[in-house]
Chains A and B, each alone.
Chain A
Amino acid sequence: MRWSDLLRMSVSSLRRRKLRTFLTVLGVVIGTASIVVMISLGLGLQESMYKEVEQNGGTTSITVTGKDSGGMMYGYSGMSSDEEESQKYITDDVIKDLKNVAHVKSAEPILSISVIALKGKYEGFIELTGMTPEGLKTLNLELEDGGRLPDPNSAQLELVYGNTVITNFYEKTSGRGYWDSGELPDIDLQTDSVFLILDQDGYYQSQSAASDIGGSAGESGEGGTASAKTPPKKHVVSASGVLKGGPDTYTVNSYMTFCDINKLRTYLEKEFRGRAIPGQPTTKSGKPYNKFVYSSAKVQADDMENVEAVSDAIRAMGYNVSSNIEYIDSMKKQFAMVQAVLGGIGAVSLFVAAIGIANTMMMSIYERTKEIGVMKVIGCSLGNIRQMFLLEAAFIGLGGGVIGNVLSFLMSAAINALVKGKEMGMTTGQISYIPLWLVLVSLGFAMLVGTAAGYFPARRAMKLSPLAAIRNE
């Protein structure tokens, strides 16, 4: 028999019993819709979770820090000479090595330093993070309109402010900031250039020296003897961009200020010529280390699956490694469970629908015993008869799957609309999310369930004796 004829016969026998077909299909519709909607909820949750992780430094990024680079151990441990040998600092060479680790997409140095910014009557602390242009790109920073990432070739140091950095500024005279007064400082970081003071110690020494003129003399004696009488250099810097968001929008980067790492390095080296740059390790005698040391390195793995392997490799090199992988792993496990539970609930209803299909097909075969017999007598092969019934069952499954998916999209849209109305913009993702693969898988699954449910009835039809047709009642 030709496929077109098989299809035609199956469809026509389904159409002959419209109500029963409809009811059976309805069962599959409900089953499919419940699976799809349940899984879509799980996927939506997962999606928004991933988005959150993405903002928290991404799923593939690994932060590498030198061992014992904090320097706190020095004071407590007497055997510093040994330790110096075992120090693992993030230097340019190390960055190169990191890049050669398998599955590493990129390795970029990070240099963090806290500085003071001055603007008019305001003073602010800024956590300045220098990164390479490539490294900055991987952060996926969202800038306000008109902003751009720092130009590594610019003459001046260019900054990208986090959107909440402005709240770190306070009035020099009153010491009141945004958190006290509730008023934002009158600074437009996007356009105003500010003075940056890299040498905090020097700044405070000179400040206290200045205030000592009218203040207590006891302390001024000590302050006065300090070497830095002249205030440290104020560097004029301007912003190349500001991160998107208001002062109350928190992201991982909102308190950060980014700049180009090499620019920052040259600034620092100029500023602290002959002295140790704060944060740089020093030898026992307080001399700067002979190589420039970065605060940390940001390593990107090529895939989420490889983060673990890369972490292990770097750890074996002797560095401290931190990534989101443990978090992601536990999250993955959780979501697998949530998916399984939700999908299972849906699967139960599809299973019930499958029983419905089997029942309908069985009824149909009993009803058509004669017809099946006649078909056999006038030359319809057993295989064709089985195919015909399997096709009917598959059609019920497919029809139910298609309508069920349409229903799922409607329900998903309704859920998303409802949720969106309730919470304002906290989570950007949708709570229910139906990807294409889910549609295809659910369609295939519904069809498979239909066919499987139709299998035994179809076998039964195939094995019916043609005699039943001849017998006259």
Chain B
Amino acid sequence: MREIISVKNLYKLYRVGDSVVRALDGVSFSVYEGEFCAIVGTSGSGKSTLLNMLAGLEKPTRGEVIVAGKHIEQMKENELVKFRGENVGFIFQSFHLMGTMNALENVALPLTFRGEPRKERIKKADRMLDLVSLEKHKKHLPNQLSGGQQQRVSVARALVNDPKIIFADEPTGALDSHTSQDVMRLMQRLVREQKRTLVMVTHDRSQAEYADRVLEIIDGKIVHITENRRKEENERA
């Protein structure tokens, strides 16, 4: 399996008053193509910081982050925006859909930023919404949709620009347990069907069950790596 994300000796230090907080304290790991990888940790463990760095939203203090063969930590903001637009999809905890746009337009938004003609991007967005089984809600505004539906729109938006990697930041944090399950299953299915790489950050161990591999992070250090898929495969065998 090909490495798509590779993190080497990543440090992130924050200065809080006089003391220095180590949010990330020498993290090294790899994520492989077509893998569903969960990063689990309590709040303050550094998991969100790690995700931010993988996505290039924060600069590391030291260390390397190589995503799809590119050194993220050395990129300028403009390059990062372009890189994200081409290679990365994002799923947020509180969905972050544009309130003035209907589901279809929201899904098409990343393509809009890339300057695709309206017809084409609407066609693609339409297909994506079918994929997340929101056929009946294409013309609805976000406030006319339930939380689960909004997160599905968000998933469709993350997939629409055909990214290699999808980052999800507590994707079920704002959902009840039932819809959480739905969304998790959906993501799991999509990753497997479309051979995409998904990196998810969560504090909920039960959500991590859906992942192929679980990285447990405590105080800025990866303390445990669980291989779920292998287990599954073993069980099947």
User: Residues on A close to B: CB < 8 A?
Assistant: 1-2, 4-5, 12-13, 15-16, 370-371, 374-384, 465-467, 469-470, 472
Q: How far is the CA of A85 from the CA of B215 in the complex (A)?
A: 116
Residues of A contacting B93 in the complex (Cβ-Cβ under 8 angstroms): 472
Using known A-B contacts A379-B161, A470-B52, determine if residue A374 contacts B113 with beta carbons closer than 8 Å.
Answer: no
Residues of B contacting A12 in the complex (Cβ-Cβ under 8 angstroms): 100-101
Query: Across the two chains, which residue of chain B brings its CB closest to A376?
Result: B81
Q: Is B57 close to A, CB under 8 A?
A: yes
From B81, B96, B99, A380 is in contact (CB under 8 Å) with B81
Residues of A contacting B84 in the complex (Cβ-Cβ under 8 angstroms): 377-379
The reply to whether B92 and A2 form a contact with Cβ atoms under 8 Å apart is no
The reply to whether B173 and A378 form a contact with Cβ atoms under 8 Å apart is no
Q: How far is the CA of A16 from the CA of B143 in the complex (A)?
A: 14
Q: How far is the CA of A74 from the CA of B55 in the complex (A)?
A: 103
Residues of A contacting B173 in the complex (Cβ-Cβ under 8 angstroms): 472
Q: How far is the CA of A1 from the CA of B117 in the complex (A)?
A: 10
Q: How far is the CA of A382 from the CA of B76 in the complex (A)?
A: 11
The reply to whether A374 and B92 form a contact with Cβ atoms under 8 Å apart is yes
Q: How far is the CA of A13 from the CA of B52 in the complex (A)?
A: 28
Residue in A12, A379, A467 with the greatest tally of chain B CB atoms within 10 Å: A379
The reply to whether B112 and A1 form a contact with Cβ atoms under 8 Å apart is yes
Residues of A contacting B52 in the complex (Cβ-Cβ under 8 angstroms): 467, 470
User: Residues on B close to A: CB < 8 A?
Assistant: 48, 51-52, 55, 57-58, 77-78, 81-82, 84-86, 89-90, 92-94, 96, 98-101, 109-110, 112-115, 117-118, 157, 161, 169-170, 173
The reply to whether A379 and B100 form a contact with Cβ atoms under 8 Å apart is no
The reply to whether A381 and B81 form a contact with Cβ atoms under 8 Å apart is yes
User: Given A1-B115, A465-B57, 9 other A-B contacts at CB below 8 A?
Assistant: A12-B100, A13-B100, A15-B100, A370-B96, A379-B86, A467-B52, A467-B57, A472-B169, A472-B173
Q: How far is the CA of A384 from the CA of B161 in the complex (A)?
A: 18
Residues of A contacting B98 in the complex (Cβ-Cβ under 8 angstroms): 371
B44 CB to nearest chain A CB (Å): 13
B90 CB to nearest chain A CB (Å): 5
The reply to whether A381 and B92 form a contact with Cβ atoms under 8 Å apart is no
Q: How far is the CA of A380 from the CA of B161 in the complex (A)?
A: 13
B24 CB to nearest chain A CB (Å): 15
Residues of A contacting B51 in the complex (Cβ-Cβ under 8 angstroms): 470
Query: Across the two chains, which residue of chain A brings its CB closest to B112?
Result: A5
The reply to whether B109 and A470 form a contact with Cβ atoms under 8 Å apart is no
